[in-house]
Amino acid sequence: MSEETRTERSDLNPPRPAGVVPLAVGVVLAAVLLVAAWAVFRVDNWGERGSGLSPRFEYDATDVMSVDPALVTYAETGQVPVGMQVVQGIATGADGRFLVAGDRAVQWFERDGTPLQAVAVPGEPRCVAVAGDDHRFPGRLYVGLTTRVEVYDAEGQAVGSWSQGLDERSLLTSLAVFEDNVLAADAGNRVVVRWDAAGQLLETIGRPDEERGVRGFVIPSAHFDIAVPADGVLRAVNPGARRIEAYTLDGDPLGHWGEASPRIEGFFGCCNPSHLAVLSDGRFVTAEKGVPRVKIYSAQGEFESVVATPQTLAPGTNVGLEIRDDHSPGTFDVAADDSGRVLVLDPNTRQVRIFELLQPGAGSDAGSAN
């Protein structure tokens, strides 16, 4: 545009009195802020104000709760009461045995649910893992408390307490053992800590690092699960990003899978999945909170099927307002044994619920939500 043209157009708009433009802008900005504040107040994502929302903003969870029965490929075949008031974590050992952490103890069970040895713990255990035959100390038991790891030999005798790499902000939520590596998910510091079999700190994984391409974990609450399957690659739940991330044990990112979606193949809510396990063939078991459901994904992260639906895990639950962190009904930790069974730790009934793959041609009525 030429200088002459700009001059002519300015002549068509005579000067306004001083102060009129700032005043008008201020009025408009004030109006915008009021509308925005009203919208934030009305759209109550956390359900704090109950049913006072306009129908325009109410979320109908019917579709999320509903699961096509054809997708359900597991059936519940057993329930094992654990005899605890509060259950925190579950893990599996050799020969189908499993162990549950809670009530300042770790309780071992036979494959059929018969109680075995109980190991007393000097604090409330939050997570547990057991070393396999490839570990320097086979059968060694690792119990995560809030800011440290208590270590026990295969007979249940205390042999150490680890805190290197942890601090007062730490909040341990998951443990994994691979060969001579012991890893802990620290939800407080949003990292994964790796030690050797002697408890020496080797690596801190997950701190934001632009050069390595690490964005960091988004951990809105105390739900941060990890697993290291036979391939030696760390899988860590990034619940705020609604995905599973893969890392080398030295902390280099290898990729991720998962998406935020209300569809059955996605992860729904503010921060899911809440728990993770790996089957012996490399496929993944995930558990979600808010809308409780347990699912199977391929080793490449592709959705395959459903183990347990919301109606199976928490029948009658109204999840319309239960997508926040302090949700009900609790979170369901998961584990998988060497025979392919999926073990679900139910915090409401304080049982281990056992799910097994349906035989070809067998049906299940557990997946319908009509």
Most confident residue range from 50-54, 151-155, 319-323: 151-155
Helix, strand or coil, per DSSP, at residue 247:
strand
What is the enclosing helix (H) or strand (E) of 238? Answer: strand 234-238
| Integer Cα distance of 159 and 314 in angstroms | 39
- pTM of the predicted protein model: 0.81
Out of 2.120.10.30, 2.40.50.100, 2.40.37.10, 3.20.20.150, the CATH code matching 80-357 is 2.120.10.30
pLDDT of 318? 59
Q: Are 265 and 222 in contact (CB under 8 A)?
A: no
pLDDT of residue 37 exceeding 60? no
**Within a 10 A sphere around the Cβ of 163, how many other Cβ atoms?**
14
Distances (CA, A) of 81 to 87, 118, 126, 349, 355: 11, 14, 19, 8, 15
Locate the domains of the chain by residue range. Answer: 80-357
Over the stretch 269-305, which tens digit does the pLDDT of each residue have?
Answer: 889 999 999 999 999 999 999 999 999 999 999 999 9
pLDDT mean across residues, the chain? 84
* Residue owning tokens 């069970």: 109
Determine the pLDDT at residue 52: 39
> How confident is the model at residue 65, as a pLDDT?
81
**pLDDT exceeding 90 applies to what percent of the chain?**
74
Cα separation of 207 and 256, whole Å?
A: 16
CA 100, chain centre distance (Å): 18
List, for residues 70-99, the tens digit of each pLDDT value: 999 999 999 999 999 999 999 999 999 999
| DSSP-assigned beta bridge partners for residue 293 | 288
Task: Identify the residue with better confidence: 269 or 40.
Answer: 269
Distance CA 15, CA 210 (A): 51
